[in-house]
Amino acid sequence: MPLSFVVYHDFILRYPRSDKIKYAKTRLIEHIKNTIKSTKEAARNKRIEQEKKDKFLKIILSLNHFVVIQLVIKEEKKWETET
Kindly report, residue by residue over 53-82, the tens digit of the pLDDT.
898 888 877 877 778 787 777 777 777 776
Using 50, 70 and 90 to split pLDDT, how confident is the model at 49? Answer: very high
The amino acid present at 56, given as its one-letter code, is: F
pTM score of the predicted model: 0.58
Using 50, 70 and 90 to split pLDDT, how confident is the model at 2? Answer: low
DSSP state letters, 22-76 = HHHHHHHHHHHHHHHHHHHHHHHHHHHHHHHHHHHHHHHHHHHHHHHHHHHHHHH
Rounded Cα gap, residues 76 and 40, in angstroms: 54
Kindly report, residue by residue over 10-28, the tens digit of the pLDDT.
999 999 999 999 999 999 9
